[in-house]
Amino acid sequence: MRPINEAAVPLQSPSLFLAFELNYSLPGLGYRQTVLSHRQPLTILMHYDLPFYVLSFLLLDPPSTLAHTSDLLFHPRSWFSSPPQKRYDTFDVNPNGSTFLWILEDDYSGPTFFNYFGFYDGADPTHGTVNYVNSSEAFSKGLAYVQDDGIVVMKGDNTTWLGDGVNRDSVRISSYAQYNTGLFILDLNQAPWGCGVWPAFWTVGSGIWPSTGEVDIIEGVHDNEHNQIAWHTGAGCYLNPNASFTGTVTQTNGVNNTDCDGNANSNSGCGISEWSRASYGPYFDAQGGGIFAMKWDENGISVYSFYRAAIPVDIDNGSPNPSNWGVPVASLEPTTCDPLKYFVNHSIIFDITFCGDWAGNSYATSGCPGSCSDRLKDPSNFVNASWSINSLKVYRKQILNGQVSSAATPSPITRASLTWGLTYLLIFVGILASL
């Protein structure tokens, strides 16, 4: 409430001057909206003037406020409710009833992309026949660069002939930022593929592997057609094969890989293979690429993928809402694996390795020609071993209101709601007095 200078308004009878401006806002969104603003007198002591002032007051209101006025006049319980709130199509709802939005936190794209990643140049933990190069070599050898149109490219060396036993140059980068939950959306035109090629887009926790977890969002070998999602954790985390997802649980020797313990089952973890034949390899690239997204919060970890022609509008608009995306291709439920306990301080990683524990050991049954070591020598075999990335965006979860209790509780009385209540109480009393 802000008082008006009464000396500026001539009075002919004792009057109550009412002036207020009612606002509401959404915390953290920078949104502020004035829903009602009145600066006018209401004469209630001279009852024959009151109808004029009440009519003026109501006519100054927009239709939505008139409806609210009627409700307040004839339903006193609503005097203590909050003012109307703006609706957002991108609102999402947690199982406990609280609402939230996904708000952009980090945008990795364009010329500054590599400013936020470190280049790994150590030995490959997966025993690939690869030589990971530092940033200087990667840029000078054309293995990492940003095109004039802003597209980010990372690739394995496809120009150098190698002798026996020589490793092929490639890149592995890791984000400086670490995350504990988030919505990760990768927009890419091409993912690496080819006989002997083993790429991955993944996140991994700090500390001793696998105690802080690993999530493989894109991973495959050779000319495979189905992307494989996997989780690697400490002991005690399990994949529920009956959860809601469209993919197929991976198997080892005919047994479902549902134990996510990275130290069990030859480090296979728990995994799901996408159903689509175009989720990895040449068919994915032929579709013009697409979107891979991982949603990680207290409700679990889910992975989604979309072809270029089927990307949800909310992603293109920068206001993603996974609840509109349908069933995920893979999902790890919190009832069988606590996503906040088993996954901690994750960095984002892109890499391209060759042969190694998976691509090398599976080469003989892959349908690829010769041996993996021989395949490695000819650079023309690796023309498709490239990442072509439009952007990688990370969104954080912004809670908009609190948890909804199972028991009904009265709404809190705020200054704004009290103003509404007292204002309309005075109007109502004045009307009665004028009858």
SS3 track for 172-198: EEEECCCECCEEEEEEEEECCCECCEE
Beta bridge partners of 35: none
The pLDDT of residue 432 is above 90: no
Q: Which residue has the higher pLDDT, 296 or 75?
A: 296
User: Do the domain assignments include residue 40?
Assistant: no
The pLDDT of residue 325 is above 80: yes
User: Do the domain assignments include residue 65?
Assistant: no
User: Do the domain assignments include residue 91?
Assistant: no
Based on DSSP, count helices (H) and strands (E) in the chain, helices before strands.
7, 23
Confidence at residue 229, expressed as pLDDT on a 0 to 100 scale: 98
CA distance 422 to 46: 19
Q: Could you give the C-alpha distances from 64 to 85, 88, 151, in angstroms and in order?
A: 12, 18, 47
Instruction: Give phi and psi for 127, each to the nearest 5.
Output: 60, 35
**pLDDT tens per residue, range 230-239:** 999 999 999 9
Q: Structure tokens of 381?
A: 């075999």
Confidence at residue 265, expressed as pLDDT on a 0 to 100 scale: 87
Among the options 214, 225, 274, 333, which is catalytic?
214
pTM (2 decimals)? 0.74
Which residues have CB under 8 Å from 16's CB, separation 6+? 41, 42, 43, 44, 45, 426
Domain that holds residue 133: 104-399
CA distance 383 to 193: 9
CA distance 205 to 343: 7
Which stretch of 132-136, 153-157, 416-420 has the lowest confidence by average pLDDT?
416-420
**357 C-beta neighbours (distance < 10 Å), count:** 16
User: What sign results for the dihedral spanned by CA atoms 239, 244, 248, 254?
Assistant: positive
Among the options 6, 105, 137, 219, which is catalytic?
219
**Total domains, the chain:** 1
User: Do the domain assignments include residue 410?
Assistant: no
Residue 129, domain CATH: 2.60.120.200
User: Do the domain assignments include residue 10?
Assistant: no
**pLDDT tens per residue, range 253-307:** 999 999 999 999 888 999 999 998 889 999 999 999 999 999 999 999 999 999 9
Confidence at residue 274, expressed as pLDDT on a 0 to 100 scale: 97
Instruction: Give phi and psi for 139, each to the nearest 5.
Output: -75, -40
User: What sign results for the dihedral spanned by CA atoms 331, 332, 334, 336?
Assistant: positive
Could you identify the residue written with the tokens 């609402």? 99
User: Do the domain assignments include residue 193?
Assistant: yes
CA distance 16 to 19: 10
CA distance 386 to 115: 20
Judge whether 214 counts as a catalytic residue.
yes
CA distance 113 to 139: 13
Cis peptide bond N-terminal to 412, omega within 30: no
User: Do the domain assignments include residue 391?
Assistant: yes
Confidence at residue 277, expressed as pLDDT on a 0 to 100 scale: 82
Confidence at residue 429, expressed as pLDDT on a 0 to 100 scale: 64
Confidence at residue 435, expressed as pLDDT on a 0 to 100 scale: 65
Beta bridge partners of 131: 169
Across 64-143, the runs of DSSP E, i.e. the strands, are 92-93, 99-108, 117-119, 130-132
**pLDDT tens per residue, range 377-404:** 999 999 999 999 999 999 999 999 865 4
CA distance 384 to 396: 33
User: Do the domain assignments include residue 23?
Assistant: no
The pLDDT of residue 368 is above 50: yes
